[in-house]
Structure 1
Amino acid sequence: MTFFLLAVSLLYALFTFILWLTWLRIPQVQSVVVDGDAPVITVVIPVRNEAESIEDLLQDLSQQAYRHFEVVVADDSSTDNTLAIVQAYARRSSFDLHPLPLTNEQTASPKKRAITQSISLAKGSLIVTTDGDCRVGPHWLTAIAAFYSQTNARLISGPVTFTTEENLFDSLQTVEFASLIGTGACSMALDFPTMCNGANLCYVKEVFVEVGGFAGVDHLASGDDEFLMHKIAARYPNGVRFLKNANAIVRTKPHRSMRAFYNQRKRWASKWRAYESYLPSLLAVFVFLSNAAPIVAIVAWLTGFLNGNTTLVVIGLKAVPEFLFLRQILVFLQKKSSVNVIPLTQLIYPLYVVFFGLAAQGKGYVWKDRKLS
């Protein structure tokens, strides 16, 4: 057991150290677009019951410095007045805004349906997706368009973080989310893309059609972002890139209730079983084992099966490289105040990963007032 714990911990330390160095080597690009290279962008926003926040996002879009864009808001049968707010805003909007009411039909993946129908109406050559509860800065689309012009990437993943932290629970979510954003960014830089976030995602419309959109994964409620990224990466091995630009940061609200947090994380964790590529599945198992190792080591020490020095080594091999990596990501995301919460997150996160890794084996969760499988 000692050999296994040390081996897993050493591999994880090496893995995290490589991520840290990779992040440092990803260049921070400039938001400069040559007028002749300015692509038309269609911003797709699938929504359901976002009456409290959708107008804030639309106001952010009205203030974009980049003006070659249109917006499609696909309303998935909201039970509040989300659609009415969007329709009213469209009548006075300074940009092309197209409300798209969707029928309340039974579907395994409402979000994929919303995105697919929106893309069928899109006039832009680039599709940019975000969520109805997000906020974006005035140079968000400029940063995306500039990066596309500079790289000709087939899919661009952008940074996402939370708006403000009002309590410790919010700060813990910020640190955890930063680890996902950073790991996804580094995996793209290493040409082995594993994860991205649909709250800040861009891809070429023709490429979406070329890979068949969500065909083959449309029976899964989650994964409108990652499964599409994997399909595009398989067709274009060097075509998936991360946009490391502070102007491109999208901010969303942290979960205020444990129930909402649980359902989202279970939804995320449930995706790994459906990965066709071996790498994301292997990474998911590796992360699970790496986070289980400190728990096993502490239990083994308390029960006399492991000495204290070995236990400290197992914990240290995980904690030190993680701190270095997470600190860099949080500083980039303009969340330096959350750096102090990293040690507490490291105490809780192993239990969290093990719990959701096991919880994801069960089927079904509630999302947007719907029970999905």
Structure 2
Amino acid sequence: MILISITITLVYLLLIGSFAFGFDKISVFKLEDLPSKTKFSVVIPFRNEAENLPGLLKSIPSLNYPKELFEVIFVDDASEDDSVETINKSLGNQPNISILKNQRTSNSPKKDAISIAIQHAKNEWIVTTDADCKLPKYWLDCFDTYIQKNNAGCIAAPVTYLAENNFLNRFQLLDMLSLQGATIGGFGINKPFLCNGANFAYKKALFNELNGFKGNTDTASGDDIFLLEKAVKKYPKQVHHLKCEHAIVLTHSQPTWETLVSQRIRWAAKTSAYKNGFGKFTGLIVLLMNALMISTLLMTILGAFNLKIFLYLVIIKFNIDFFLIYKSALFFNQKGVLRSFIVGFLLYPFFSVYVACISVFSSYTWKGRTFKK
């Protein structure tokens, strides 16, 4: 057991260390004052988001980008609240704003909604975000400048949670920072395997060439990662990460532990459908390391595992996790969340293993609907 524990820990150390190394390999992109050229179609699926929409709707008119160079396509996925009325009241009668009705053709409402929007999109580049997000002023300017200076066909960009003064939010924020660290680090070592649909751009022609979400519609979520996998396989040199502080999209963390668990079960449910071998390997090692923390703790308490070796394993994981999250926190200017790192570090193995276990057998609820794995 000691040999197995040491092996898993060393592999974990090398893996997370490679992400920390890759994080620095991606240079921070500096926004330049270039004439705007790229035409964007911003796609926003929504369902029952009346409470969350005001933040997004306030940020859209504040975008610095020329109005004639972008359109915003909302797709209503059978909302049962006042979402449509909220959008119309805030942004109605603007020529570059439209609302479509979703047309369900698969087990994935969000993929259906994005596909419908792309069919109606007038512009060359698609940018997806979510209805509970806030968009930065120079969001589209960042994409435009990057596209002008790079041969890109698919661009992942940074996402983080809005900071709130409670532990549940800080726990999720630490997790998001670790995910963003792994995302950017993966691009840095030329092994891109993560992205976030709340801030994701790609050419409409590329989406059509890759047959959109065909082959992945049985899984309800994953509109972002499955498309990334296809793009990486077909055009690896055209898949980029836009590491720019002016491109950071802010979204809301889950309000309760119950909704957080449901969200993470949804995230976990799509992992079995991943085709990216490195992504699967990363998920497996992270899960094994968290399970190892729990099992060796119990064995140490029972006297069946060496206390000194257990402490070494904990110290190694603690330091490499902190190293990566600290880099992310610096980039996202969210160092304040680090005050909860110790408690979050102790809690996370139990949380992640619990979610992994119940995701194997449990369905999940998303936007008022129940989905099977």
Aligned counterpart, 1:26:
26
- Counterpart of 2:102? 102
Q: Distance in 1 between matches of 2:227 and 2:53?
A: 25
Shift in Å, 1:340 = 1.5
CA distance in 1 between counterparts of 2:93 and 2:55 reads: 15
Q: Which residue of 1 aligns with 2:358?
A: 359
Q: Equivalent residues in 2 for 1:199-278 (5 A)? A: 199-278=198-277
1:74 maps to 75
Runs of 4+ with >4 A deviation: none
Offset, 1:277: 2.7
- Give the superposition deviation at 1:259: 2.0
Between 1:5-14 and 1:42-51, the stretch displaced more is: 5-14
For 1:88, the equivalent position in structure 2 comes to 89
Q: Which AA in structure 2 matches 1:249?
A: I
Q: Percent identity?
A: 31
Deviations 1:154-174 (A, max 9, x none): 211111111121201111110
Q: For each residue in 1:57-78, what CA deviation from the matched residue of structure 2 results, as whole angstroms up to 9, or x when unmatched?
A: 1221111111221100001110
Give a deviation string over 1:317-358, Cα, whole Å, max 9, x none: 111111111011012112111011122111111112211111
Give yes or no for contact 1:90–1:99 (8 Å, CA) kept in 2. Answer: no
Larger mean Cα displacement after TM superposition, 317-326 or 300-309: 300-309
- The residue aligned with 1:56 is 55
Question: Hey, what does 2:320 align to over in structure 1?
Answer: 321
SS in 2 for 1:45: strand
Q: What letter is aligned with 2:37?
A: A
Assess if the C-alpha contact under 8 Å between 2:11 and 2:285 holds in 1. Answer: no
- Whether the aligned pair in 2 keeps the contact of 1:293 and 1:314 (CA below 8 Å) is no
Counterpart in 2 of 1:368?
A: 367
Alpha-carbon spacing, 1:276–1:64, altered in 2? closer, same or farther (3 Å) = same
Contact kept? 2:26, 2:187, Cα under 8 Å? no
CA RMSD of aligned residues (A): 1.5
Q: Secondary structure at the match of 2:305?
A: coil
Cα offsets for 1:159-205 (capped at 9, x unmatched): 11111212011111100011111101111222211111101111111
Match of 1:116 in 2: 115
CA deviations over 1:259-317 (Å, ceiling 9, x no partner): 21111100001111111232222221111111112212211211112221101111111
* Residue aligned with 1:42, SS: strand
**Cα deviation 1:199-238 (Å, max 9, x = unaligned):** 1111111000000000000111010000010011100122
* Structure 1 unaligned spans of 5+: none
CA distance in 2, matches of 1:17, 1:223: 26
Shift of 1:53: 2.5
SS of residue matched to 1:185: helix
- 1:228 and 1:279 map into 2 onto residues whose CA distance is 16
**Which stretch of structure 1 is more off in the superposition, 22-31 or 218-227?**
22-31
User: How many Å apart are 1:363 and its aligned residue?
Assistant: 4.3
Deviation at 1:92, TM superposition (A): 4.1
Q: TM-score scaled to structure 2, two decimals?
A: 0.96
User: What displacement does 1:372 show?
Assistant: 1.3
1:22–1:278: structure 2 CA closer, same or farther, 3 Å change rule?
closer
Structure 1 Cα separation of the partners of residues 75 and 108 of structure 2:
14
| Cα distance per residue 1:91-136 (max 9 Å; x no partner) | 343x600111225x57410000000000001111111000001001
Query: In 1, Cα distance between the equivalents of 2:54 and 2:97?
Result: 12
**How many corresponding residue pairs?**
370
Q: Distance in 1 between matches of 2:8 and 2:221?
A: 29
Alpha-carbon offset, residue 369 of structure 1: 0.4
